[in-house]
Structures are given as C-alpha cells and as structure tokens.
Structure 1
C-alpha cells in the first residue's frame, strides 16, 4: 500500500478524535463494525471507496480531505537582499498569504529615516539590538524580546538605535509588505 494511503487512516482517526467521537460512534453511524474502522485507522485495512464514502459523509468532509497531495518541500529558499539600510531575509515562499521577514536594520549615520504613511498593519519582534520606532508623536526604543503592532496609516519609521544593528522579525499584511520590503521600481 502506498505511503499516501497509509496516511488516510491517521487522518480518519484525527478527524474522529477532533469531534470527540469513539470508534463505536463513527462506525455505527457509517454502517460498519468498530473493528473495520479500527483496522482502517491503523492502516491494517486497505481503504476503499465503499468504506470511505460513508465515513466522509458522517464526518462532513470530502474524499480530498482524506487523500491529499504529497506535501512539497517546506523549506524556504529565498536570497536576502539589501534595501534602504536594511538586509531583508524573506522567511516565507513567494506568494504566501503571510508576509514574514527577518530584517537587519543597519546603524545609520545622520538623520533617521522620514516618517511614512501607507495602508497596512505591521507587527515587529526584536531578536537582538535595539530598534527605534517612531510612531506618530511617540519615539520608542524596543529591546531584545519586545514586540509592537501598529497601524501603518499612522506616520512611522523604523531604524537601528545606536551603533549596533537591530535584528527584527516583521510580519506585514500585503499593503505593508509592498512598502517596506520591495525594491523601488
């Protein structure tokens, strides 16, 4: 039996357990014996449409929920890039619904960056160093282990505070990600 078919039983068990049902509960409602269901869940019985259709009906799912495609390699292999005094490391695949980055804000000479306003929301978590967050009329310094979440329609700017870089995890919605991480066109 293929590896994918062996996973059907584990998925059945997880779905049944998530609903708080016993083997007897699901087997009776699907018109099969508890031992047949147990053998399906443990991978000792070959799944067939005749057995799976009543189970999926009772669980309120489709066959695709039990037999999913093989999972692709989950590793993210995107190169970091530099932009406006930052080194940006993408942490999710291109096109992912979550826009997540590790950003190194390099120490700056001269004036801090200008305050910007745009649609979006941003969440930041400081991994190392100190991050200066100017948000509206506030001028804050976040240290390692501190986080902030803000509406980017409020004038804001982020930069390293002091002579050392600040390493930050940043999560944006689509609008915030376009402004902060994409290269100027």
Structure 2
C-alpha cells in the first residue's frame, strides 16, 4: 500500500507542471492566484516537495479541475457517467459518445451575447446534424442567415461554409451529431 501511495504522490508533480503549461500559465501567475510561493510550486512540480491538501486544494481551484484529476485518483467503480467538458473557441462541448470513428454526439453550449460583427465562415471534413435544445441559434450556412429556436433541426455538409452562434444574449444549447468522415444520420422509421 505504501508503494502505491508513493507512486501516486510522485506522479503529482509532473501532472501539475503539464496542467500549468497546457493552460499557458507561469509559476509566477499561479503563485499570485493561489498564494503559494514560486519556490514551493517549483519544488512541487519537480517532485522535491511532497504534495498535501493545503497545497493541492488551491491549485485545483486555480486550474478549475477536480482534486482527483490533480492526484490521478484511480476510478472507484462509480457506475455513473462522468462527462468531462471540452472548451474550445469559447464554447463548451460535452461528449456523449466515447467510441472512435463514426458519428459522434455532443451537447454544445454557446454563450449568449453579441457575436462577431462579421463572422468568419469555416469549412472542414464531415457532415453535421444539430437540434436546438434551448435558446436561439444563429446559423450562417452558405448564403443563408437562419435563426433556429428550440425543437428545430438543421443538417449540412460541413464543406459548405458555415458559422453558428447565439442569436441573442441568452446561451444556445444544442445536440450535435457529427460525422468526421461525412457519415450521416439514418432515419429508419417515420410517421405518416
């Protein structure tokens, strides 16, 4: 048991360093945020200082991660699904599928507020299907400028130039099915 604990504690320093660097934060910035001295942070990251709760709790708060992530806690057998949000381009993506390849499902949250005055339309590989759960979504698709409301759906080839953002000050929440290789959803049953 002591060997396991030592292994876990030895891995904390490199994990802290990698997390700080991935976020683009300096030790000086982190020291100012947490109140932990730069020398202590340096010793923690290099493994010359043994981590304790007094040091790890402010670091977890500053990095916005659970303490479990800092220490690399092993899974406890909890059967609930713990979705880790992905934040990109000011948006939050919650992955709902975990398999490689094929269609991927996400819940996407786009913050409200004024979008760019002249949004830059993007193209990329794939095919996208989206369903508006909450809020109002502005979708620029080719030469179309659409506002979708809860319950509305859009699907498009992502080779068509597109951009999406909240249509007003409230966030927009979407369910997205995305096929990286151009896979499409298949509707097999329809009501008449």
Distance 1:148 1:159, change over 3 A: same
Find the counterpart in structure 2 of residue 183 from structure 1.
none
Determine the structure 2 residue equivalent to 1:48. Answer: none
The structure having more radius of gyration, on CA atoms, is 1
Which among 117, 124, 134 is matched to residue 118 of structure 1? 124
Compare 132-141 and 88-97 and name the one that shifted more: 88-97
Say if 2:112 is the partner of 1:103: no
Residue of structure 1 in register with 2:159 after alignment: 153
- In the alignment, structure 2 segments of 5+ residues that lack a partner are 1-77, 184-192
With normalisation by structure 2, the TM-score equals 0.49
Aligned length: 105
RMSD: 2.4
Superposition pairs of residues 59-138 of structure 1, within 5 angstroms: 76-95=81-100, 97-111=102-116, 113-138=119-144
| Unaligned segments of structure 1, at least 5 residues | 1-72, 178-185
**Equivalent in the alignment of 1:44:** none
Q: 1:175 to 1:84 in 2, by over 3 A?
A: farther
Normalising by structure 1, what TM-score? Answer: 0.51
Distance 1:75 1:99, change over 3 A: farther
Against the structure 1 CA distance between its residues 82 and 176, is the aligned structure 2 distance closer, same or farther, given a 3 Å change threshold?
farther
* In structure 1, C-alpha distance between the alignment counterparts of 2:152 and 2:127, rounded to whole Å: 17
Pairing partner for 2:149 from 126, 143, 149 = 143
Structure-1 separation of matches of 2:120 and 2:79: 37
Contact 1:76/1:92 (CA < 8 Å) preserved in 2?
A: no
